[in-house]
Amino acid sequence: MDQDPEVEFEKSTMYSIIQRIANTIRLTVHLPDVDPDTLTKYRITQLKKYTNATSESGDQVPTTEELASPSPAMLPLLLNSDVNQSDQSTSEDSSLTDSERTLMGDDPDESRDDLMPSEGHIQDLDLDTNMTLSTTSTTSGKLGVPSICLTSTPSRHYDDEDEQDKMERALRTTLFKHFKVLDANFNANITIDRPQLMIEIDKRTTTAYLMKHLEPYVRVPSCNFCICTYDLHETELKLTNTMENLTDGEVITVKLKRVLQEGEYQMKVYRHQEDKDPQFLHEHIISKGQSIGDIKTEIVDELNRRFSTELPVERCRLREKSWKKAGKIHLDSQIIGREVIVFNPWEVFLQTIDRPEIKTDENQTVLSTRRYQPDSDVLDKIEEIVIEDITLANIKAEISKISGIPVEFVDTILIRETSFTVTSEILSDLHRQAWNTEPPDYLIDGKLVVYW
């Protein structure tokens, strides 16, 4: 195998083969929707990998628009295409001899005419060279297997040069290169427009390398999607990260995104529930100059479409998110970049309410209140009040309105909002702290809870 029989084992070809096998894992990749409406919403230009070709019989193959989304009919063609053949050759060291390749499973005499130049090593190509997948037709008029051809046209996949630089830098740091699509499985719980791939990859490779090889299947430039963990938090994997933290058989998901233009911000929306941890719902792109009302309408419409619900916009509000706590309530009339200062990424809560919004002015403060029953040592459900001038007297007056109890019989205590689920801690504070104290001069929505 090795020319030098005295070579150290750690530097031998056999050691490299063992390490490759030991570090190869299989992953399931969930692909995103790439229908025209979704691409328009994200303002993504589809990656035109496919070009029209005409068969010898004159039959026209499907157009780029017809191949817009990876359908079950097209995925097997991709799986058997030269992309995988070239990537399989990629899994070998270019320095291996014919006998060493035989150990890896390749026939040294096998014809390689079907591969791209340079033995199909996609990762060795100039990054400014485009790979174009073109479909060919058989003499019977059936759609043939996509093939890869190279053009010298400079890549125009990236709207932002910085993003391209990041991708190129990450690809240059990739030392271990192995990628192969094994199968396309269609889960019954996933719609036909959301296929998933079973891939084999060296876990020492980078996220950037994986993204580049997923482009033919996602059908959009790699700068317009990201790889995330398939869990509640959907943590995005950085371009230079390796797959070392992933285990064999794990599931990852591909999420669409796009390079933000000047004045645009990424918004992450979470569901707010009093007795549960925040639940991630949706990522949204907002622009400077947009109103909170317009943004809220877009988010609710998207959630209604995705989850087949009929959530009314007027029964929803957007609130600042600070870890697990809900903060300031944003009014529909407020404008991004003027009354509302945002940053990337901006995290907010979407909260459903059972009545029209009670906060109508920026100078008002919404306080959560809970009645304490000392005889049974229990707490009632949360009710909201709105205060313009924050004083103890005004707070008691508002509580008197919603409860019907005379003001002189209302006692209050203000406790910093923690978790509504830890009732024992709240009850302990109620027994330990002083009642009927004046509130601080400045309060933000959700900062304190009034117990009475």
Domains of the chain and any CATH numbers: 10-45+165-259 (3.10.20.90), 264-352 (3.10.20.90), 365-451 (3.10.20.90)
Which residues on adjacent β-strands are paired with residue 130? 151
Q: How far apart are the first and last CA of the chain?
A: 82
Which residues on adjacent β-strands are paired with residue 322? 325
**Of 25, 205, 50, 264, the residue nearest 143 (C-alpha):** 50
pLDDT for residue 33:
82
CA distance 243 to 237: 9
Q: Helices H, strands E: what count in the chain?
A: 10, 17
Q: What is the mean pLDDT of residues 247-261?
A: 86
Share of the chain above pLDDT 70, in %: 67
Q: What is the mean pLDDT of residues 214-240?
A: 85
CA distance 201 to 217: 16
Contact between residue 452 and residue 411 where contact means Cβ atoms under 8 Å apart:
yes
Q: What is the mean pLDDT of residues 242-266?
A: 86
pLDDT higher than threshold 50 for residue 412: yes
pLDDT higher than threshold 60 for residue 139: no
pTM here?
0.56
Residues 6+ apart with CB under 8 A from 220: 34, 39, 44, 45, 46, 47, 256
Which residues on adjacent β-strands are paired with residue 147? 134
Q: Does the CA dihedral 104-109-111-116 come out positive or negative? A: positive
Q: Does the CA dihedral 157-162-163-169 come out positive or negative? A: positive
CA distances from residue 42 to 160, 191, 268, 314 in whole angstroms, order as listed: 15, 20, 14, 25
Over residues 178-188, the pLDDT tens digits come to 788 887 654 54
CA distance 179 to 83: 10
Q: Which residue has the higher pLDDT, 195 or 213?
A: 213
Residues 6+ apart with CB under 8 A from 260: 266, 285, 344
